[in-house]
Amino acid sequence: MSFWERIDDQQQGNQCEIYRFNRTGYVNYYTSYHEDVQDEWGTNYVAKTLKRSPISSEWHAREVTCTLTGTTDENGAFAFLLDTVPDNKVEVRIWRLLLNSPNVVQLVFFGRMQNYTVKKSQATVRFEGYSYLTHTKVPRIRVQSYCNHRLFDDHCGLSKVAYRIGGTVVDTSGDPSVLSNQLVLQGSYNDDFGESFLDKSEGYFTAGVIFRNGHYRYISKSEDYAIGGLQKKVTIQEAFPSNVATVGNQFDLWPGCDKSPSVCTDTFDNFDHFLGFPYVPSDQQSGDVTIIE
Say which CATH number the domain at 13 has. Answer: 2.40.10
* Beta bridge partner(s), residue 264: none
The answer, yes or no, to whether residue 197 has pLDDT greater than 90, is no
**Domain stops at, among 107, 131, 155:** 131
Asked if pLDDT for residue 165 goes beyond 70, the answer is yes
Do 185 and 124 have their domain in common? no
Tell which residue, 220, 219, 200, 196, has the closest CA to residue 209: 219
SS3 253: strand
Q: 123 and 181, same structural domain?
A: no
**Which range (172-176, 198-202, 262-266) has the least confidence?**
172-176
Q: What is the pTM assigned to this prediction?
A: 0.54
Which position has the higher pLDDT, 240 or 281? Answer: 240
Q: Which domain holds residue 186?
A: 165-254
- From 220, 235, 254, the end of a domain falls on 254
**Higher-scoring residue by pLDDT: 58, 245:** 245
Cα(47)–Cα(33) distance, integer angstroms: 6
CB-based burial of residue 49 (10 Å sphere; 0-12 exposed, 13-18 middle, 19+ buried)? middle
Residues 169, 74 within the same domain: no
- 64 and 14 assigned to the same domain: yes
Q: How confident is the model at residue 68 (pLDDT cuts 50, 70, 90)?
A: very high
Residue 271 lies in a domain: no
Residue after which a domain boundary falls, among 131, 155, 179: 131
How far apart are the C-alpha atoms of 124 and 22, rounded to whole Å?
17
Q: How many domains does the chain have?
A: 2
Same domain, 127 and 228: no
pLDDT for residue 133: 66
More confident residue, 8 or 281: 281
Question: DSSP string spanning 59-120?
Answer: TTTTEEEEEEEEE-STTSTTTHHHHS---TT-EEEEEEEETTEEEEEEEEEEEEEEEEEEET
Q: How far is CA 276 from the centre of its chain?
A: 28
- Is residue 236 assigned to a domain? yes
Q: Is residue 80 part of a domain?
A: yes
Residue 177 has pLDDT above 50, yes or no: no
What band does 45 get if pLDDT is binned at 50, 70 and 90? very high
- Enumerate residues 6+ apart whose C-beta is below 8 A from 146: 258, 259, 260, 276, 278
Of 54-58, 75-79, 127-131, where does mean pLDDT reach its minimum? 54-58
Kindly state whether residue 282 falls inside one of the protein's structural domains.
Answer: no
Query: Do 126 and 169 fall within a single domain?
Result: no
- Flag whether 216 is in a domain: yes
Give the residue with greater pLDDT, 105 vs 46. 46
Residue range 148-152: average pLDDT?
A: 92
Confidence tier at 289 by pLDDT (50, 70, 90): very low
Cα 98 to Cα 146: distance, rounded to the nearest angstrom: 45
Residue 279 resides in a domain:
no
Region label for 145, one of left (φ > 0), alpha (ψ between -120 and 50) or beta (otherwise): alpha
What pLDDT, on the 0 to 100 scale, is given for residue 58? 62
- Answer yes or no: is pLDDT of 149 > 60: yes
